[in-house]
Amino acid sequence: MIHSDFHRDDLMSVSSQAARFSSDISLSFTDADHEHRVDVKSLLGMALLPIRHGSVVRLQTRGRDELEALEYMLNVLEKDIT
């Protein structure tokens, strides 16, 4: 669960850090009965993502380094949301 709003710069930083992995990395959440899904490596997609306090997000990875990517990105998100 997100404990504070994500600002555009925070989301762009997350996106930049995701680029180091070859795996696909996606983030999804539901806001007002609408499901949002974005490729975390997409700077534009992340910059426009309305992640707000109280959002429950789901991070998914798929590819050769998916476990490493998942662990790393969870750590990045936990630092940014606390």
Residue-wise pLDDT tens digits, 24-61? 999 998 877 888 899 999 988 887 877 777 778 899 99
Q: Whole domain around residue 28: which residue ranges?
A: 8-81
Q: What is the CATH number of the domain that holds 24?
A: 3.30.1340.10
Number of independent structural domains in the chain: 1
CB 81 within 8 A of CB 52: no
Specify the higher pLDDT residue, 82 or 19. Answer: 19
Provide the residue type at 16 as one letter.
S
| Residue 1 falls inside a structural domain | no
pLDDT of residue 20 exceeding 90, the answer is: yes
| Residue 3 falls inside a structural domain | no
Residue-wise pLDDT tens digits, 51-72? 777 778 899 999 999 999 999 9
Task: Tell me what pLDDT residue 5 has.
Answer: 67
pLDDT of residue 80 exceeding 60, the answer is: no
